[in-house]
Amino acid sequence: MEKEAKDALPAINRCLQDRSAQIQIAAAGAAYRISGNAKPSVAVLSQFIKDPNPDIRTYACRELREFQGDASPAVPQLIEALKDPDMREDSISVLGSIGPGAKTAIPALRKLVEMGLGADEVADAIRQIEGK
C-alpha cells in the first residue's frame, strides 16, 4: 500500500491546483500524509482559512489540525481567524494542536478570555501550546 500511495503522489499534487477548494483541501491532507512534507500542504490550506465560504474555512482548519506541529506556518492566519466568530472554535483547536509552534498566538488567545469568549477551550489550547 505504501508504494502505491507514493506512486499516486504526483497526481495528488496536481490536485493542489484544482479549481475546487474541497479537492485542493483533500489533496493537501493526502499529500502530507503520504510524503510527510507539510510545507506545500500548509500553504494551500492556509489560503482557505480566509475563504468567503464558512464550510471551506472549517474544512481547511480541520485538515490543518491533523498536521499538529507541522502546521505552525499557518499560525498568523489562525491568529487572524480568531477574530471571526464562525472560525474561532476551530482556530483555537488548531492552535492548540500545533503546540509550542503556536506560542505567538498566546496573547491573542488570552485576549479572547478577557473578552469572555471560549475560556475553557482557550485554556486547553494554551496548556497544549505551553506543553503542560
pLDDT tens-digit map of 32-41: 999 989 999 9
* Predicted confidence (pLDDT) at residue 1 exceeds the cutoff of 70: no
pLDDT tens-digit map of 61-73: 999 999 999 999 9
Q: How far apart are CA 59 and CA 45, in angstroms?
A: 9
Q: How far apart are CA 37 and CA 87, in angstroms?
A: 26
| Cβ contact 59:97 at 8 Å | no
The structure's pTM equals 0.88
* Domain total in the chain: 1
Q: State in Å, rounded, how far the first CA of the chain is from the last one.
A: 37
Check residue 95 and give its pLDDT: 97
- 124, with CB counted inside 10 A (0-12, 13-18, 19+), is middle
pLDDT tens-digit map of 73-110: 999 999 999 999 989 999 999 999 999 999 999 999 99
* Predicted confidence (pLDDT) at residue 46 exceeds the cutoff of 70: yes
* Domain span holding position 85: 2-130
Give the domain CATH number at 41.
1.25.10.10
| Cβ contact 122:79 at 8 Å | no
* Predicted confidence (pLDDT) at residue 118 exceeds the cutoff of 80: no
Confidence category of residue 132, pLDDT binned at 50, 70, 90:
confident
Check residue 107 and give its pLDDT: 97
Q: How far is CA 103 from CA 13, 18, 31, 90, 94, in A?
A: 30, 33, 26, 17, 13
Check residue 10 and give its pLDDT: 86
